[in-house]
Amino acid sequence: MKFEGRTLLVTGGASGIGRGLAEALHARGAKVIVAGRRADLLSAVTAANPGMASMVVDVTRADAIADFAARLIAAHPVLDGVINNAGIMRKEDVATPAHLDDAEATVVTNLLGPIRLTAHLLPHLLTRPRATVINVTSGLAFVPLAATPTYSATKAALHSYTQSLRHRLAGTSVEVVELAPPYVQTMLLGEFQATDPNAMPLAAFVAEVMAILAQEPTPAEVIVERCRALRHAAENGAYATVFAGLNAEHF
């Protein structure tokens, strides 16, 4: 994937992996638009990265996504890529109905959000000489973390959706890529994760991802070394062992 001269949207770009990728792409010559729900956080990112743009969107609202896509294309008519990164992760007590609000919010944000945004952007992206859709899933799409069952399920569903989307768009100008992070030092689950020495440092993760994305042709899956055990657990006959280890180790 070539970065220089590209115009790319990064959802969930105000913090964590989204911000890390946005800043790395910006540094390599891409025009980057970061999107998220909080204008103040987005403004902090653009202030730190002159030339970067931002737009507010709530990916949990179908009407907001449709309006956002129209405004985005009007403001950036040469848009040729989207990184669907916005997501939430919450621990759930499945023994009571109290977790259902979190479960539903997770489905809407992590699964319906990227499906809806991609649907509204594809008519435009298909007019571009070369375009890219990158869906951020997770190593937990392949081996779930039982403490966050809906998060893991949405990422597995997004993995499946991405495979179908890639097949349906084969032969068009739009390439479809899956990026599956491992456990990375971000605030996804709070301060504990951001400082956990067992998590992959964010800067190291972003650097490895950018090196993989720079390959031509762009790999269909971007899997850093730390995520390979999860990604290939089933194929390697190690699923039960990896599942047991993952769910004994965390939370």
Q: What angle do CA 8, 160, 117 make, to 5 degrees?
A: 35
Spatial distance between the Cα atoms of 4 and 12, rounded to a whole number of angstroms: 22
- The candidate with the shortest Cα–Cα distance to 193, out of 90, 104, 107, is 90
Point out the catalytic residue in the list 151, 161, 183, 239: 151
Spatial distance between the Cα atoms of 95 and 245, rounded to a whole number of angstroms: 22
User: Is 151 marked active-site?
Assistant: yes
Name the token pair of 202. Answer: 């964010």
Distance between terminal CA atoms of the chain?
37
Spatial distance between the Cα atoms of 247 and 85, rounded to a whole number of angstroms: 24
Spatial distance between the Cα atoms of 243 and 125, rounded to a whole number of angstroms: 38
3-state secondary structure of 227: helix
3-state secondary structure of 208: helix
- Tell me the three-class secondary structure of 159-176, residue by residue: HHHHHHHHHHCCCCCEEE
Catalytic site positions: 151
